Chains A and B, each alone.
Chain A
Amino acid sequence: MCLSIPSQVVAVDNERQSVTVDTLGVRRDVSSHLMTEPLAIGDYVLIHIGFVMNKIDRNDALQSLELYQEIVSKLENETTH
């Protein structure tokens, strides 16, 4: 039950402390009561039981994905040479 899912902010309602997020095509409203920094359209966030828990750092995620690319290609080189 305690899993959290990455989603993207598609609308912000500051008055109601709520944002609309898209989770791979599914849209819903979630609470932003636990966030002090403002959320913006396009932000990646983690959702848990109807709340934004935190933002996902875009650059950090990209760096990880790049690192994995390197690991894969390093291994491919090792096995082909």
Chain B
Amino acid sequence: MLELKQLYQGFRDPQTIASLAQDIAKVARTLKEPINIMEVCGGHTHTIMKYGLLDLLPDNIEFIHGPGCPVCIMPKERIDQAAVLAQQEDVILVTLGDMIRVPGSKGSLASFRAKGCDIRPIYDPLDTLKIARDNPHKTVVFFAIGFETSTPMTAVLLQLAEQQKLANVFFHINHVLVPPAIDAVMHDPNARVNAFIGPAHVSVISGAKIYRPAVEQYGTPVVVSGFEPVDVMESILRIMRQKAAGKAELDIQYSRAVSEQGNLAAQAKVEQFFQIRPQFRWRGLGPIPNSALQLKPEYAHRDAELRFKNCLPVKEIDDHKACQCGDILRGLAKPKDCKVFGRGCNPETPLGSCMVSSEGACNAYYRYQGIDSKEQHHG
């Protein structure tokens, strides 16, 4: 029998973590080249920092904290657009939690909310339906964010809005895709990544198959990993074993919920409503072709970017000069290399996006290692 508790505790067991660390160290001693693992998603960054995994790993393994965060990669101009939408008469702007604290060029959505804009942070996208029903004379705009993990949920919301003939629900779509971001990182001439840990939740939906091209093109192992510390350690061990055997394969560590194909019903829903957007500008990484989604023309009547075309600002806005999020996301700098880390920029007053959500690289370093030295543990 399996108990729900075991699904948590079993994958956080300190003894297991320690044993895996020893196995990793054994394999690491046989390797000549350093292993630079990009964990694509901030959820993994969070686990690595929270459980102090860096301290358990040999020196020839380095982590590069990747761009896998829909909150962290949202460029300022998109947040500015959300703020403008929220300022329109009779508009209610709805979005998921973390998003409202990310600074745009004129403040975060939280600051606009404090000024009286009707901005509603929610946990479940379907809450939007109730807000629309309760406010028939208002226009409800869902500011949709997320990777492959969260896009199907927006698709269901759209489907239900259509079925229930809720004409006052609109969408500002910011759904982004993981594989083009990996390509952007790998095409940088300074790229040092030679292995990937892929986020399990993306592949629960999209399947492990989305990483096959990366494995083939870059000759790097990709291990699709769960988020518990034991999952992450086992994934590192699997990467090390591939490296020791001179292999580069696609491997699924989180096989308890990820298959090669993923959730086909969810993929079909995404296909039904979305198409590839020719270009999307990522905070820190710049414009990446075909890296995001937009509504299909059949659903243009739901598209807030068209409905409010005349008032939405389009000017691209770069980050604060001191902010090094871009270099951090490409593995060229660590949070502590940033001059304002922990001083001008902290989770209360973030200057850059990596400091905002609990999975952002700067936020995770700040919370679990403190401002100054590695010895200073805060939690």
Chain A residues in the interface with B (C-beta under 8 A): 1-4, 6-8, 22, 24, 30-31, 33-36, 44, 46, 48-51, 53-58, 60-62, 64-65, 68, 71-72, 74-75
Contacts and interface: CB of A to CB of B under 8 A. Distances in A.
12 contacts: A1-B71, A2-B69, A2-B149, A8-B4, A30-B124, A34-B156, A44-B2, A49-B124, A50-B123, A54-B205, A64-B255, A68-B20
B4 A68 contact: no
Given A34-B263, A53-B266, A46 B204 contact: yes
A1 B255 contact: no
A62 B204 contact: no
Contacts, number: 139
A21 B185 CA distance: 39
Interface residues of B, number: 57
B201 A48 contact: yes
Given A1-B70, A49-B125, A72-B15, 4 more contacts: A33-B156, A49-B96, A50-B123, A61-B2
A49 B123 contact: yes
Given A2-B147, A46-B257, A49-B125, A72 B16 contact: yes
Contacts of B263: 34-35, 53-54
A57 to B, nearest CB: 5
Contacts of B335: none
B216 interface: no
Nearest to B9: A65
B227 interface: yes
Given A1-B71, A34-B152, A34-B156, A6 B201 contact: no
Contact of B7 (A2, A6, A31, A53): A6
A24 B20 CA distance: 27
Contacts of A6: 4, 7-8
A49 B13 CA distance: 27
Interface class of chain B by DSSP: helix
A75 B4 contact: no
Interface of B: 2, 4-8, 10-11, 13, 15-16, 19-20, 22-23, 41, 43, 69-71, 96-99, 123-127, 145-147, 149-150, 152-153, 156, 159, 199-202, 204-205, 227, 230, 234, 255-257, 263-266, 269, 357, 359
Contact of A4 (B23, B69, B126, B204): B204
Given A4-B149, A50-B126, A54-B204, A44 B7 contact: yes
A61 B6 CA distance: 9
Contacts of B125: 49-50
Residue picked from B7, B20, B255, most chain A C-beta under 10 Å: B7
A56 B8 CA distance: 13
B16, B20, B205: residue with the most chain A Cβ atoms closer than 10 Å: B16
Contacts of B19: 68, 71-72, 74-75
A68 B16 CA distance: 6
Contact of B265 (A8, A34, A58, A75): A34
